[in-house]
């Protein structure tokens, strides 16, 4: 069964497909290959490929390892359930783009409510007219 087959009108029928899409987005944004992720979390590239495509589920330990490697919390990878029972991928964390892969995220990447925010230039300049 293909991950596309598990898509509903509002989301994915399987949570694993939504998790896989979230991880695929971070891999693409960070120009990280599935092989690099596989090496980092101790799985084969083929297994990671099946997990990212939603064919095979992720264990909690694997999600924690992926989060640690990408510098994200596990909750940044978990899908959200919709009213009709389908699953939506987790929102992309823009702070991911402002740090190196494999580094621990700074607490400054989250605002006081614990919501991720993109880092802003500390020396803001007025726009030219």
| pLDDT tens figures, 16-44 | 899 999 999 999 888 889 999 999 999 99
Rounded to the nearest 10 degrees, the angle between the axes of helix 34-41 and helix 45-52 is 110
31 exposure class (CB count in 10 Å sphere: 0-12, 13-18, 19+):
exposed
Domains of the chain with CATH codes: 3-109 (1.10.260.40)
| pLDDT tens figures, 91-128 | 888 777 766 654 455 555 556 666 655 555 555 566 55
Q: Is 2 or 18 the better-scoring residue by pLDDT?
A: 18
Determine contact, residues 18/87, Cβ cutoff 8 Å: yes
Mean pLDDT of 41-56: 94
Q: Which range, of 79-83, 87-91, 124-128, averages the lowest pLDDT?
A: 124-128
**Could you tell me the pTM of the whole model?**
0.68
Residue 61 has pLDDT above 60, yes or no: yes
Q: Is 83 or 8 the better-scoring residue by pLDDT?
A: 83
């Amino acid at each position: 069964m293909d991950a596309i087959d598990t898509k509903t009108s509002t989301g994915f029928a399987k949570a694993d497909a939504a998790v896989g899409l979230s991880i695929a987005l971070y891999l693409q944004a960070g120009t990280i290959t599935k092989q690099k992720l596989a090496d980092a979390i101790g799985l084969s590239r083929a297994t990671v490929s099946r997990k990212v495509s939603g064919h095979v589920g992720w264990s909690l330990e694997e999600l924690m390892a992926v989060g640690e490697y990408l510098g994200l919390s596990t909750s940044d990878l978990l899908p959200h359930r919709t009213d009709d029972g389908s699953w939506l991928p987790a929102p992309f964390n823009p702070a991911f783009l402002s740090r190196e892969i494999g580094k621990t995220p700074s607490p400054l990447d989250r605002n006081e409510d614990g919501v991720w925010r993109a880092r802003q230039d500390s020396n803001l300049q007025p726009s030219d007219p």
